Amino acid sequence: MRILVADDDPVSCRMMQRMLERSGYDVSVAVDGRAAALELTSGTGPKLALIDWMMPELDGPGVCREVRQRQDGSYVYIVLLTSKQSNDDIVEGLEAGADDYLTKPCNPAEVKARLLTGQRILQLEEKLVEAREDMRFRATHDGLTKLLNRSAVLASLRQSLDLFERESVPFSILLCDIDHFKRINDVHGHLAGDAVLDHFASRLRNAVRSGDLIGRYGGEEFLVLLGGCGADDLLMRAERIRQVISDSPFSIREGLLRVTVSVGGATVDARHRVGSIEAMLAMADASLYEAKAAGRDCVRLAEGSMLDAAAEPEQGRRRTDSVERVAGVAPLPA
């Protein structure tokens, strides 16, 4: 484990360094408090530190205070080394942010024992962070495909619309629906359907840029959020997704299975504006139904007239109805 030793006395520092290296630590050294504080707050520095109280530039308690003022990064476990023995001095060091203290001259066995306590605390923190991140992932991602779930991708869509309204950054969305998915479940079983969804998600990831977002919108329907993509590029991006899905069959336990996708899209840019994400989703949904009506395995994008209709100050179902009328198609079964 990495550890920082900060001591301006070269003899004491070297003795501590050798002792720790013999105990298996990866030791780095700082000769003043300012250098120690910079190392520990760098984000890549050691998470375990032995800091001498009396140092130039910045004393031990000052180093503790600077480290504790950080608002991000992992926890750093700090042991102060001091010749001070009064209760007031010990309290001052602990209140500054030290986790423990050792009185000079230090007993090597006690140093190792105190550092092992620090390691246990840091390991516990790592486990808590992992548990927190796992809970966060589960709350925002779909369990089967590991893509963003509906709530998370819609939250990202709202952020994109807010960014457009503030800074006019264009973006587009694509609604992708696996063709005849119910038939896959009925003929091959739900485990095969799950395998298709998993493979489909993998191909979607490979078909978009690293900064684009994909979410499982519901069932066999997926929402792709293309940041910085205007209407001029949307057809090319949508066609790439369609081709990546349909060009080669999916390999599942039951054998090879040809899968196709219908895609509907809409754009928000300088020429195409919407008042809400609900309006934009309604446009993409109407375009998707048009792709289904055209025979599936194809792309349809919202026209300018649809965007104009969606931008009118209507609310709720009236806005959705107006979009469906302009699209000129009735909802069809998936």
- Final residue before a domain boundary, out of 117, 138, 159: 138
- Final residue before a domain boundary, out of 95, 110, 138: 138
Band of residue 106 on the pLDDT scale cut at 50, 70, 90: confident
Nearest Cα neighbor of 78 from 59, 86, 87 is 59
Q: What is the pLDDT of residues 121-173, one digit of tens each?
A: 999 989 998 999 999 999 999 999 999 999 999 999 999 999 999 999 999 99
Mark whether 206 and 238 lie in a shared domain: yes
Mark whether 104 and 198 lie in a shared domain: no
pLDDT at 107: 86
136 versus 84: the higher-pLDDT residue is: 136
Residue 8, exposed/middle/buried by CB under 10 A (0-12, 13-18, 19+)? middle
Q: What is the pLDDT of residues 287-314, one digit of tens each?
A: 999 999 999 999 999 975 444 444 443 4
Mark whether 276 and 206 lie in a shared domain: yes
Helix/strand/coil for 69: coil
Q: What is the pLDDT of residues 197-219, one digit of tens each?
A: 999 999 999 999 999 999 999 99
pLDDT at 202: 96
Mark whether 85 and 28 lie in a shared domain: yes
Number of domains in the chain: 2
Does residue 80 form part of some domain?
Answer: yes
| Type and span of the H or E element at 171 | strand 171-178
Lowest mean pLDDT across 143-147, 262-266, 269-273? 269-273
pLDDT at 100: 92
Catalytic residues: 220
Structure tokens at 230: 């205007």
**pLDDT tops 60 at residue 226:** yes
- Helix residue ranges, H only, 97-149: 108-140
Mark whether 126 and 159 lie in a shared domain: no
pLDDT at 77: 95
Distance, in Å, from the CA atom of 11 to the CA atom of 308, rounded to the nearest integer, reads 77
Q: What is the pLDDT of residues 244-256, one digit of tens each?
A: 999 999 999 889 9
pLDDT at 236: 95
pTM of the model: 0.69
Residue 228 sits in a domain whose CATH number is 3.30.70.270
Band of residue 58 on the pLDDT scale cut at 50, 70, 90: very high
Band of residue 332 on the pLDDT scale cut at 50, 70, 90: very low
**pLDDT tops 90 at residue 260:** yes
Structural domain containing residue 76: 2-138
CA distances from 24 to 2, 320, 325 (A): 9, 66, 73
Does residue 97 form part of some domain?
Answer: yes
Does residue 172 form part of some domain?
Answer: yes
